[in-house]
Amino acid sequence: FAQCDQLAQITVGNDVVLGSFAFNMDKDENFNVLSYDEADEKYFYYEFASSLQSLTIGNNVTIGENAFAYHASITDVTLGEGAKIGKQAFYSCTALANIDLSKALSIGDYAFKSCIEMEALAIPEGVTKIGEYAFSMCSSLTPNWDSFL
């Protein structure tokens, strides 16, 4: 389903493995170059236009590497029990503001890098792995430190 820019909603059932680049969006004709400032530095990034706004992921789903990378329109993700989020799975999903990680088991390297609209985050006790730079460059993010105690 990579490059399917007309998908508006996706529901993934239980016990599924989404392979690498399954819903990846990187069509050259559908991108914008944007920028933001962080710590007195200017960062540039690109985003790809698609219709996909909402994802519902079932139980025991493994989300592969870059599965939803660069979908600039995804705003909400609902995860089922036992979700495993792969490397760069939601990389540069710049509109992603709402994701409940309370049922996740693991979060891969760079999984949410550059998700600049993500404002809140709580990591539950059940998460066994958080990869390198999983939430790097999420400039609006305010962690819920109580979830780490």
pLDDT reported for residue 30:
45
**DSSP secondary structure letter of residue 71:** B
Average pLDDT for 46-64: 75
Q: How far apart are CA 80 and CA 95, in angstroms?
A: 21
pLDDT at position 96 is: 92
Radius of gyration of the chain (CA): 14
- The 8-class DSSP code of residue 147 comes to G
Q: Can you say whether residue 100 is alpha, beta or left, with left for phi > 0 and alpha for psi between -120 and 50 degrees?
A: beta
Confidence band for 139, pLDDT divided at 50, 70 and 90:
confident
- Specify the 3-state DSSP secondary structure of 146: helix
pTM higher than the cut 0.75? no
pLDDT of 97 > 70? The answer is yes
